[in-house]
Amino acid sequence: MPAERTKRAGRDVPQLVWTVPVEPISIETEGLATFSSSALAFDDGPPPLVDPSDFILFPPSDGCPPPPRKPAHTKKKPEDHIPRPPNAFILFRSSFIKSQHVPTEVETNHSTLSKIIGMTWKNLPDGERLLWHDKAKAALDEHKRKFPQYAFRPNQARSKSSTEKRKVREVGPKDHKRCAKIAELLVEGKKGQELDEAIQEFDKHHVPEVVTRFEAPLTARMYRRSSSAPIPDSGEILKRKKSRSASTQPATPIGSSAKSFPLPETKPEIQPAESFMSTFDQYALPSAPSPSLDFNTFSFDNHSSPLSMYHVCGPLSQPASPMASGDLLFNPTQSNHSNLSIDTSFLDNWNCPSPLSSESSMPATPSFIGSPVPAYNPYIFEDTLAKTFAGHFPAYPNSCEPQYAGTYEAESPSVYPIFDQDSCSQVHMANQDHDFSAFMASLPEYAI
């Protein structure tokens, strides 16, 4: 039975039957919903639900009410394994995928889809989310009835090994803004072809955030905002100067998991592309003033070995700094920054073809409107960077070497570029081994 995905006309929507215990919901099509008897069981309160005038954004796909007992898990599970009952979100996701609200032209990757669906979920009208919680409850009841003896038994053996040496496939960060846009369009009711068109338009002007192969830039401000950022000691003063851009913080839900390292919860306001752009700009006009940074207050980690590397992509102010004019510094054998050499040889390959021009996982490269002739293409720049670092970057699967795509044991020190938001310049590189708080605390001028 074809679900009518041709709604558009506001009305149609099925009246909700909240108390539905078991039956595949009897919502149905014809204009007036018939109330199931159970729904009428209690009339002493307003059914806590949705206005009849509301309509459902994402109607459950028909196979929904019963837990989509699929072909028993592909593998590796005992034949008698009983899966957990699905929770509300899982049900929603499952139905969402089945309905193909997001056409494959827009996104096929399920990790990204999860992100999009998660965002959509949060933006869902409360009433509609309730519907899924209700279904989850029904599924749970059903599950209990079906497997009365069932008890969830998380595999502890797994937890042991996984915390100690976890295999991590580092995957490029998703384009948060694009996901958010898709989610936004979805809750506006756009799906399928309509969504595709809207996103095509969006992609035309949107500079993908994921340009750099480095970790997401971390600014001092973001760091301080981070919930996991340590509260500075009374001694260590962060004079909070009024931040005029405080309101620019996107209304993004509080970050999810507390990672071992305080990454920003939202993408930094400055995008890597923009920062690279500014790098390029500095050739033309010598640089905005950037905050002075006393490198003496911070000691680089001398034994962090293969990754003692500095990638300077913005104007560095430190007048006497050896990096002042540096574009790229890489010196794996030297840990003393006073001896760093500047390798600009990669610039010779400046025009090497971008992988993106041919085929790429990247959405169509936006033409960098506004930038005249020697249009600066950050992708090319990035590609050049990656080549320069090829072999030195075990932790970066997105480097130009495809074999990084696989699973591997993450190398411990990941490198984090630190940007100053105001000057849009990268001021430092840190890895997890550093005492990051101390470093941050040493930079009062970066205080909020």
Instruction: Please give the residues from 380 up to 419 whose contact with DNA meets the rule CB under 7 A.
Output: 405, 407
- Would you report the helix, strand and coil content of the chain in percent, each value rounded to 5? 35, 5, 60
Does residue 78 touch DNA according to CB under 7 A? no
Does residue 83 touch DNA according to CB under 7 A? yes
Does residue 169 touch DNA according to CB under 7 A? yes
Q: b/e per residue, 380-399, with b = 16+ CB within 10 A?
A: bbbbbbbebbeeebbbbbbb
- DSSP output for 152-190: ----HHHHHHHHHS-EE---PPP-HHHHHHHHHHHHTT-
Residue 278 in tokens: 């500014």
The rounded distance, in Å, linking the Cα atoms of 360 and 383 is 12
The window from 82-90, 304-312, 336-344, 346-354 that contacts DNA (CB under 7 A) reads 82-90
Nearest distance, CB of residue 22 and DNA, angstroms: 17
Give first-to-last CA distance, the chain, whole Å: 58
The window from 8-16, 161-169, 304-312, 342-350 that contacts DNA (CB under 7 A) reads 161-169
Nearest distance, CB of residue 397 and DNA, angstroms: 9
Helix (H, G, I), strand (E, B) or coil at 252: coil
The rounded distance, in Å, linking the Cα atoms of 333 and 257 is 36
Please say which residue, 95 or 279, places its beta carbon nearer to DNA: 95
* Among 263, 235, 238, CA closest to 440: 238
Q: Which of 37, 248, 256, 333 binds DNA (CB under 7 A)?
A: 256
Nearest distance, CB of residue 24 and DNA, angstroms: 16
Does residue 70 touch DNA according to CB under 7 A? yes
Does residue 127 touch DNA according to CB under 7 A? no
Q: Which of 93, 224, 225, 434 binds DNA (CB under 7 A)?
A: 93
Q: Would you tell me which residues interact with DNA (CB under 7 A)?
A: 67-70, 73, 75-77, 81, 83-84, 86-90, 93-94, 97-98, 108-111, 113-115, 117-118, 121-122, 129, 133, 136, 140, 151-156, 158-159, 162-163, 167-169, 171-172, 174, 253, 256, 258, 405, 407
